[in-house]
């Protein structure tokens, strides 16, 4: 099964207000495993960059000034996406921006039936808990120490790890009962996922004592016509 985990960065919150897509990062999964194939691109937004947006992702209009327009990369992006399901954190936001850019470039919108939202998944798995990408990475023990600002490809890579854990861990589909049990315990845990720890126990003695052997001999001697005395 092929899936695309992706994230976007934008100039603001609503494409209907004139905000634009400035970065997209995609990670390919095959059977819940990273294939190593990614797609990453920056886009010139054809407008200014609000200070509050730049504070989130660090992308200035000066940095983006020599980047291509979305329309120049759209065919390459669509070829990478193919018809695979698309997974994002707060996916409706990302789909909204991609579809707005596709409309500007004269392409049909992505089918919303392809959309899988990890925020919605997290709300079902952990009702009442925090569902930000940072909070969920902490819950599942995913290292995000290198995440200083938002970045589309970095966040897509973190989300790929998170999605794998939220859907059963790396052993999904292999039929390993023990691994499935551990993964299920991880999902249900209210705190960060940690490796199971068990105290060391000395081996138990299994040899029969002389008293036990004597009682067994008495029991066998009292049996009436045991089968092992019959002739073959």
Note whether 69 and 44 are within 8 A (CB): yes
Spatial separation of the C-alpha atoms in residues 67 and 63, rounded to whole Å: 8
Long-range contacts of 105-114 (CB under 8 A, 24+ apart): 105/70, 105/71, 105/74, 107/74, 107/78, 110/81, 110/86, 114/83, 114/84, 114/85, 114/86
Q: Compute CA 46 distance to the chain's CA centroid, rounded to the nearest angstrom.
A: 33
> What's the chain's Rg over C-alpha atoms?
28
Task: Say what the pTM is.
Answer: 0.71
Could you list the active site residues? 150
Taking only the tens place, the pLDDT of each residue in 59-107 is 999 999 999 999 999 999 999 999 999 999 999 999 999 999 999 999 9
SS (H, E, C) 71-84: HHHHHHHHHHHCCC
Nearest to 60 by CA among 77, 44, 81: 44
Q: What is the pLDDT of residue 198?
A: 60
- Tokens linked to 26: 């995609």
> For 25-55, how does the pLDDT look when each residue is reduced to its tens digit (9 = 90+)?
999 999 999 999 999 999 999 999 999 999 9
Q: What domains does the chain contain, in order, with CATH numbers?
A: 2-172+180-188 (3.30.420.10)
């Amino acid at each position: 099964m092929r899936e695309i985990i992706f994230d976007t960065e934008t100039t603001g919150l609503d494409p209907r207000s004139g905000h634009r897509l400035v970065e997209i990062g995609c990670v390919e999964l095959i059977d819940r495993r990273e294939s190593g194939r990614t797609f990453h691109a920056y886009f010139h937004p054809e407008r200014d960059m609000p200070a509050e947006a730049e504070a989130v992702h660090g992308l200035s209009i000066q940095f983006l000034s020599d980047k291509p327009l979305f329309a120049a990369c759209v065919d390459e992006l669509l070829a990478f996406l193919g018809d695979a399901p698309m997974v994002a954190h707060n996916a409706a936001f990302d789909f909204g921006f991609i579809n707005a850019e596709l409309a500007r470039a004269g392409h049909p919108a992505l089918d919303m039936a392809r959309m899988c939202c990890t925020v919605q998944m997290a709300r079902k798995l952990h009702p009442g808990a925090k569902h930000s990408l940072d909070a969920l990475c902490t819950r599942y023990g995913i290292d995000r120490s290198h995440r200083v600002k938002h970045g589309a490809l970095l966040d897509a890579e973190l989300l790929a790890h998170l999605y794998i854990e939220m859907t059963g861990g790396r052993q999904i589909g292999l039929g390993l009962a023990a691994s499935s049990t551990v993964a299920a315990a991880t999902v249900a845990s209210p705190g960060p996922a940690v490796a199971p720890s068990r105290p060391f126990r000395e081996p138990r003695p299994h040899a029969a004592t002389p008293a036990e052997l004597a009682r067994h001999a008495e029991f066998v001697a009292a049996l009436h016509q045991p089968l092992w005395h019959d002739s073959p």
